[in-house]
Structure formats: structure tokens, C-alpha cells
Amino acid sequence: MIFILLFVIILFDQASKFIFNKILPLNQTLPVIKGFFHLTLVRNSGVAFGLLKDKTPLFIFTSLVAIVLIIMALRDKKTRLEDNGRKDRIYRIALVLILGGGLSNLIDRISLGYVIDFIDFRIWPVFNIADSAITIGAVVLAYAIFKSNGK
């Protein structure tokens, strides 16, 4: 299941970026629900919220380190919250969400030198499916860790 989830995240993210990169003009917005949800193609050479622009080699390096650490955590039985239990599955799914999003954005950084973003809710910086996977994974991971400490 881990590999299927990982594959699906990367596939949907890369496919959506490919499609929207072809149909949307750069830095132009297409209202889907005017004033609330738009599609806006941007090229993000920074990290979250466009911070630290044009530091691609640093982001590639830190992404690779994070990916290796996540893979090690997924393989290490000691880092599991509860072997073969529900909490462990949640923990592993959270790590795979983060891993899938990180890998997909890394593909952009290596191949393009920037990350393609297009989801625009107007009150938040423009983001993509990989960013969503990372964010959801981080929230689920925090929840899983919090719940495991409270048992």
C-alpha cells in the first residue's frame, strides 16, 4: 500500500502540473469560484510562501536529506508507534504523504529549477498537490505522535 500511495501522489501531482503548465498562462489567474478559488500558474523558486527564492541547490540538498530520513523511518521498526496497529498505519501513511509530496516537488526542482504551483484560494499563497500532501502528512504525523504520547 505504501508504494501505491506514493505512486498516486507523485502521479497526480506531476500530471496536474503538466496539464496546468500547458493550459494556463504564467502568472495569470482563471477564476473557478470568483473571489474564492482560482487556478493561477506560478513558478516558485523558493520554499513555502515563496521564501528564500533562488536557493535551488540548498532545497535539493535538504529535500534529499529529508527523503532519506523518512525512508529510514519507514524501514526502522523502532520508530513505529505501535507495531502492526492502527497508530502505526496512520504514522506510516503520514510519512508517505510527506515523502510523496517531497519527491514530487524535488522532481520539479531538479528538472525545472523551480516548483510549479497552481491552486489559489486567494487568502493563501498558491500551492500544488504535493504541498497539500506534505501539509496533510505533517498534520497527521503530529496527531499520531501526540496521540501516541497520550495513549
pLDDT tens for the 151 residues of the chain, in order: 788 999 999 999 999 999 999 999 999 999 999 999 999 999 988 766 556 676 777 878 888 999 999 989 888 765 555 545 666 788 899 999 999 999 999 999 999 999 999 999 999 899 999 999 999 999 999 988 887 766 5
Closest CA to 30 of 140, 100, 127, 119: 119
Catalytic residue among 13, 108, 120, 131: 131
Count structural domains, the chain.
1
User: Is 22 domain-assigned?
Assistant: no
User: 116, 66 in Cβ contact below 8 A?
Assistant: no
User: Is 17 domain-assigned?
Assistant: no
User: 99, 6 in Cβ contact below 8 A?
Assistant: yes
Could you tell me the pTM of the whole model?
Answer: 0.85
Which H/E stretch holds residue 83? Answer: none
- The single-letter code of the amino acid at 85 is G
Annotated active-site residue 131? The verdict is: yes
Domain extent, residue 105, equals 2-9+27-150
Closest CA to 42 of 111, 145, 126: 126
User: Is 109 domain-assigned?
Assistant: yes
User: Is 20 domain-assigned?
Assistant: no
User: Is 19 domain-assigned?
Assistant: no
User: Is 49 domain-assigned?
Assistant: yes
